[in-house]
Amino acid sequence: MTESNFAARLARAMHDHDSLVCVGLDPEPEKFPPAFRNSPRAIFEFNRAIVDATADLVCAFKPQIAHYAALAAEDQLADTIAYIRERAPGVPVILDSKRGDIGSTAEKYAHEAFGRYGADAVTINPYLGFDSAEPFLKYADKGIVVLCRTSNKGAREFQDLEVDGRKLYQIVAEHVAQKWNANGNCLLVVGATYPAELADIRARTGEMTFLVPGVGAQGGDVNLAVRSGMTKSGGGLVINSSRGILYAGAGPSGLSDTFAAAARHATLELRAAINAARR
Amino acid sequence: MTESNFAARLARAMHDHDSLVCVGLDPEPEKFPPAFRNSPRAIFEFNRAIVDATADLVCAFKPQIAHYAALAAEDQLADTIAYIRERAPGVPVILDSKRGDIGSTAEKYAHEAFGRYGADAVTINPYLGFDSAEPFLKYADKGIVVLCRTSNKGAREFQDLEVDGRKLYQIVAEHVAQKWNANGNCLLVVGATYPAELADIRARTGEMTFLVPGVGAQGGDVNLAVRSGMTKSGGGLVINSSRGILYAGAGPSGLSDTFAAAARHATLELRAAINAARR
C-alpha cells in the first residue's frame, strides 16, 4: 500500500473495486466444509479461500477477534492478515475488537491492533470517554471506528436514552465528529438495521465514513441502509457482511466444497445491490 | 474450590484472608527486574512471584488481558491462571477484558473468558445493552462485572450525561441491579477516584458487589472509597491495585530482586488501610 493513511487507502480500494462491501472474517469451524475439519490450520485455510474468492470485490476485510480468541487462534488471525497483505495489498484490514479501557491500558490495546496485528483500523467502544480513545486516535494514519448506534436489538437500552433532547448515540456521534476527530481518522459504527438512525447520524456528521454491520444474517435492508446513510456523493459507507457471505453456500448439511464460489456470488450480489442503491 | 458460584467463592476468600484486596496482574516487562529480562517466560515468572507473595492476602486476582494481548502472551496468561488454581485454589480470578459485542459474538467472548481461560468472572461494557450481556449472564456460576462509573477522568464525558434527572451511570447501575441480575451474578465497576459516585451507586444497588479500581497509581483515596462504597456490614467491595502493588519496589533504576517482598508489603498495607476504614 502506498497511500499514507487509512482514509486514502479505503477510498482507493472503494474506487478500484467499485465497492463498499466489507467481508467480515468471523470463522466458525463447526460450520466449515468437511475438507477443513481435521486441519489444525482450518481457520486460516478457510479465511484464505474467502480472501481469494472476494479480494477483487471488496473495500475492506474485517476479522472479528472474538472468533479467534475463543479458539486460541491468534496465530491464525495474524496469518490471515499477512495473507491479505500478500494477496490483496490494496485492501485495508479493520480489526473488530471493540476495545475500551483507561488510557494506560488502551495503549496496550492499540499496540495489540496496530503493533501486533498491523491492522489498518480498529473498532473501539466510547463508554469510557475521550481519554480512553486517545491512545488509539494518536495513530493518525490508522482508522479508529467508534461504536455509535449498534445493529443489535438491545442497542436501544442505553444508546437511545435522551439527554436534553438528544439521544446518547447522537451525542456520541457529535463528540466523535467534532472533538475526537482532530486527526481526521475517526469512523462510526452504525447498524444497517436502523435506517432512520443512519440518516440522522449522517445529517450530524457530514462526510464521516460509517462502518455498517447488520445486513445479511442480521436482517438489515441494503437498499434502505445505503440510501439512508450515504454521503451526497454516494459513498461514506463500509457495509459489512460476515455470515451472509462466509456461509452463503450452506445447505441443510452445512457448507460444501463450493463454499468459496458461493461466497463470491454473495459478495457480487451485495456489491451490486449497494451500487444500485447509491447511484 | 468447592463453592458452587462466584459470589460464594469470593465471600469465602474475603473471609479467609480478611481482605477486600484484589491484585491486578498487569505485567509490563520493561519494568521487570534484570533477572527476568532475558526469559521468554518472564511474564509468567513475574506473575508467579507476585502470586506467591500475595496469595494469602487477597480476595481475588485480576489479570488485565490487554497486557498479554499486546505481547502475544496469551499462553502466559493461561499459565498464570493455572498457577493461581494450584497455588491459591480459594482465590477467584477476574479476567479484565471489558468485552462488549452483539449476542452471537458475545458468546465467543464468553467462551474466551470461561472456556479458554477458565476465569471465575469477567468484566464487560454495557454500551450495547442487555442482549450483548446475556451470553455472559447465562453463566450463572460466574461473576459478570459491568462497567458503571469508571475510574478515569474521561468517565464524565458520557457516563455523567443526565437523562430525566438521572445520570447514565446511575441508569446503568439500576438496570444491572434490577434487570440484568436475574441470576444474582452481576457486579459493577465503580472507580475509587469518585467517592461520591460510589456512595450514590451503593444507595441504588443494595448489597451488590463493586469492583473498585483507581487506588494506588490512579490516586483514589482508600479510606474515602471504602467508607463511601461499602455495604452496611463493611463489605461488598473488591478493591483492585495493579501498578501500586506490582511495582511498589521500583526505585530510580526500576525494580530490584526484592520486588516481590515490596509487593507483599504494599498488599499488607492496602489490606490494613481498607480494614481500618471498614470497621
* Structural domains in chain A, sorted by start: 6-278 (3.20.20.70)
Burial code (b: 16+ CB inside 10 Å, e: under 16) for B48-77 equals bbbbebbbebbbbbbbbbbbbbbbebbebb
Q: Are B94 and B211 in contact (CB under 8 A)?
A: yes
Q: What is the pLDDT of residues B163-220, one digit of tens each?
A: 999 999 999 999 999 999 999 999 999 999 999 999 999 999 999 999 999 998 788 8
Mean pLDDT of B14-36: 96
With beta carbons under 8 A apart, name residues in chain B contacting A71. Answer: 116
Chain A neighbours among B 216-245 (CB < 8 Å)? 218
Q: Does B131 touch chain A (CB under 8 A)?
A: yes
Q: Does A118 touch chain B (CB under 8 A)?
A: no
Residue A86: CB atoms within 10 Å? 9
Please tell me the predicted confidence (pLDDT) of residue B3. 60
With beta carbons under 8 A apart, name residues in chain B contacting A125. Answer: 98, 100, 125, 127
Mean pLDDT of B68-83: 98
Chain A neighbours among B 34-93 (CB < 8 Å)? 64, 66-67, 69-72, 74
DSSP structure class, residue B35: G
Please tell me the predicted confidence (pLDDT) of residue A219. 86
Nearest to A242 by CA among A269, A215, A273: A215
Please tell me the predicted confidence (pLDDT) of residue A31. 94
Please tell me the predicted confidence (pLDDT) of residue A3. 60
ipTM: 0.97
A127/B126 touch (CB, cutoff 8 Å), yes or no? yes
Residue A111 to chain B, least CA–CA distance (Å): 6
With beta carbons under 8 A apart, name residues in chain A contacting B69. Answer: 74, 108-109, 112, 116
Q: Does B30 touch chain A (CB under 8 A)?
A: no
pTM of the model: 0.97
Q: Which of B31, B98, B108, B153 is catalytic?
A: B98
Instruction: Report CA torsion sign: A202, A204, A208, A211.
Output: negative
pLDDT per position in chain A (279 positions), as tens?
Answer: 446 799 999 999 999 999 999 999 999 999 999 999 889 999 999 999 999 999 999 999 999 999 999 999 999 999 999 999 999 999 999 999 999 999 999 999 999 999 999 999 999 999 999 999 999 999 999 999 999 999 999 999 999 999 999 999 999 999 999 999 999 999 999 999 999 999 999 999 999 999 999 998 788 899 999 999 999 999 999 999 999 999 999 988 889 999 999 999 999 999 999 999 999
Mean pLDDT of B82-89: 98
Q: Does B147 touch chain A (CB under 8 A)?
A: yes
- Tell me the count of A-B CB pairs closer than 8 A: 163
Task: Respond yes or no: is residue A98 known to be catalytic.
Answer: yes
